[in-house]
Structure 1
Amino acid sequence: MFYSPVNQSQLISNVDRLVRDILFGTINFQQVKSQLNEFYYSFMISLDYELNYSKPIQAFIECTNKIIGNDYSYNVFWDNEKTVQFINLLSNYEKLIKKDYSAWHYQSHQNGKRLEPNIRTLISDHPRLLFIRVDLKYIQELSHHITIRDFDFHMKKLRDAIHNGDTCFKHLLSQAWSLEHGEDNGGFHCHLLLIFDGEKHYKDSYLADQVGQKWRAITEDLGYCFILNTKEYKDGLARYGKLGIGMIHRNNLQEVENAVNAALYLTKPDKRDGSYQRLKVFLPNMNTFGQSMVI
């Protein structure tokens, strides 16, 4: 693993947010200038041209290149004149970025349209199913070591383990996953749904913990797992009539609808906290959402 002194995922998220704040937010001129001076050098020296970046970041690169030209990044100071140039140039990308945002929303909707009938068919075919929901993350103090290549490698190892039915994935019937990029902490993470045969498994919190241990092993203790299948978390959902994880019974219509909604959370582009958690850096041909029947 490549150990970087710069938190690349956070830096990428910051640059993406800066562009969106300029075009669609309430950021003022002095804040723009300050953030350009804070982010520009570190971002440019860590730029990897073998990767694909979000449309806001592509706009950032193109606009700054037009202004800076052949100057070395460490010689650049973003004064008032350069900052005005940057803001003016960036305005030319507003329609492109809005169009890309709309396409992302549309794709998320299509992902949901494909996932929902699969979930409903699975429920109709089994009297009871065990729904496991975990979020696979990285320890915040160590997350600056994690690049998109590391995240992709870890996810491939996890999907291989799921496909092979290793240990905690035995009797798994279906799975879905969504890859995201935190905005405030810049962390890469995966929302994972696992659906087990309820005739073979019933201890959902135990299974979820086993998945977390598998993730920690795959990441060599850089990762941690947020488990939704705890008693406390489920009790909170139950109080609002929204419990859709754990054991789901086919003949309980409320449980079924809640389970479908819990599954569709993976396909929602805008999360409950209002943050923009779309991946902002990709490997070529990298998928950010997937689902499959394991059996």
Structure 2
Amino acid sequence: MPYSNFNQPQVVANVHNLVTAILANTISFDDVKTQLNGLYYPFMTHFNTELFYSQPVVAFVYSTNAIVGESYPIDVVWDHDKTQRFIATLSCYRNDIERERITFSYQESQNRNNLANYVGNLTTHYSRLLFVRIDLKYAQQTSHHVSIENFDDHMNKLRELIGNKKTCFEHLHGNAWAVEQGGVNGGLHCHLLLMFDGSKRDNDWYLAKEIGEKWKMITAGLGEYYNYHDPERKQKYQQYGKLGIGMIHRDNPQEVENAIASALYLTKPSKDEQQLKLWLPNMRTFGHGIYRTSKRRGLPPIVK
């Protein structure tokens, strides 16, 4: 499916946001009509039945179909009457949308508990770990080149490199990641946490930069990254006793507590506006490494 200059994730996010704004009564009638006329044609032209969409987007599809039927998207004009009927029809899907929000929050809570246990086990097992946090995203000016299929492919390649533990991923003891979609501009991005052997790695800023450059290579130059390890940023957190990245020592309870708190940013039940608005079948949105492995020294053997 060619997307050319069509920004697939952004248009879908705009549709999602339009529906949620209507149901929350935070948008004027005229703005609804304007957005419908701007979004309906590009969205429906590229609508892909092989993808999954958030419930607000599903509600958009069903509600508009109920009003315009088999009309070609290019022929549809959202006048006062059609817009009014669209708003009224949307209310039928309020419960479905709320159920999805509750399910998302519950799943994020489960992910949060699992991640806390995983990171806690690692910080207890190793005397020191180098925590590296980095956000992986795409340049806004070229994001129209990136579909959800591209993003999934890039994430698969990244996870494969992490699993191989070579180059910038050498001496890696643990990892966690979460993929999200921006609530405002619909930008696809990944929050990544990597925990390295603190006796083998010590330059967290440089390491985060290496990983970011690896992401740019995977995405053929479309990717960007945010490095949390800027010295000034770290110093500010250090002043408030909140620094949870860099070298974390097992015998320093405050460092360990901060590191776990920093890790848990990847899973926040309240961040429902950051959920994916479209995804592929079986697409993974969160994951972390395995603590109990046969290669982890100092643990009892795994009984099969």
| TM bucket normalised to smaller | over 0.9
Q: Which residue of 2 aligns with 1:99?
A: 99
Q: Which residue among 254, 278, 283 is the counterpart of 2:280?
A: 283
Q: Deviations over 1:43-75 (max 9, x none)?
A: 100111111000000000011011110111011
Please state whether the residue corresponding to 1:224 is helix, strand or coil. strand
Contact 2:8 2:148 in 1 (8 A): no
Q: Which residue of 2 aligns with 1:263?
A: 263
Q: Please give the TM-score of this superposition, normalised by the length of structure 1.
A: 0.96
Q: Which residue of 1 aligns with 2:57?
A: 57
Unaligned runs of 5+ in 2: 296-304
Contact 2:138 2:222 in 1 (8 A): yes
Cα distance 1:89–1:3, how it changes in 2: closer, same or farther (>3 A)? closer
Q: Distance in 2 between matches of 1:168 and 1:108?
A: 29
Cα distance 1:25–1:127, how it changes in 2: closer, same or farther (>3 A)? farther
Q: Which residue of 2 aligns with 1:151?
A: 151
Give the AA of the match of 1:279: L
- How far 1:3 moved relative to its partner? 4.8
Q: Distance in 2 between matches of 1:40 and 1:26?
A: 20
CA-based RMSD of the aligned residues comes to 1.4
Q: Does 1:292 align with 2:289?
A: yes
Question: What does residue range 196-275 of structure 1 map to in structure 2 within 5 Å?
Answer: 196-271=196-271
Give the AA of the match of 2:170: K
- How far 1:287 moved relative to its partner? 1.3
Give the AA of the match of 2:149: R
Please state whether the residue corresponding to 2:220 is helix, strand or coil. coil
Q: Which residue of 1 aligns with 2:299?
A: none
Please state whether the residue corresponding to 1:178 is helix, strand or coil. strand
Q: Distance in 1 between matches of 2:99 and 2:15?
A: 19
Q: Which moved more, 1:61-70 or 1:275-284?
A: 275-284
Contact 1:173 1:293 in 2 (8 A): no
Please state whether the residue corresponding to 1:196 is helix, strand or coil. strand
Q: Distance in 2 between matches of 1:3 and 1:60?
A: 21
Q: Which residue of 1 aligns with 2:29?
A: 29
Q: Which moved more, 1:145-154 or 1:18-27?
A: 18-27
Question: What does residue range 63-74 of structure 1 map to in structure 2 within 5 Å?
Answer: 63-74=63-74
Contact 1:177 1:291 in 2 (8 A): yes
Cα distance 1:185–1:81, how it changes in 2: closer, same or farther (>3 A)? same
Report how many aligned residue pairs link the two structures. 292
Unaligned runs of 5+ in 1: none
Please state whether the residue corresponding to 1:276 is helix, strand or coil. helix
Q: Distance in 2 between matches of 1:245 and 1:191?
A: 14
Please state whether the residue corresponding to 2:289 is helix, strand or coil. strand
Cα distance 1:2–1:204, how it changes in 2: closer, same or farther (>3 A)? farther
Spell out structure 1 runs of 4+ moving beyond 6 A. Answer: none
Q: Deviations over 1:229-277 (max 9, x none)?
A: 1212212222332110000011111111110010100001435xxx821
Give the AA of the match of 2:47: L
Q: Deviations over 1:91-122 (max 9, x none)?
A: 01111101110110000000011111111111
Please state whether the residue corresponding to 2:281 is helix, strand or coil. coil
Q: Which residue of 1 aligns with 2:75?
A: 75
Please state whether the residue corresponding to 2:111 is helix, strand or coil. helix
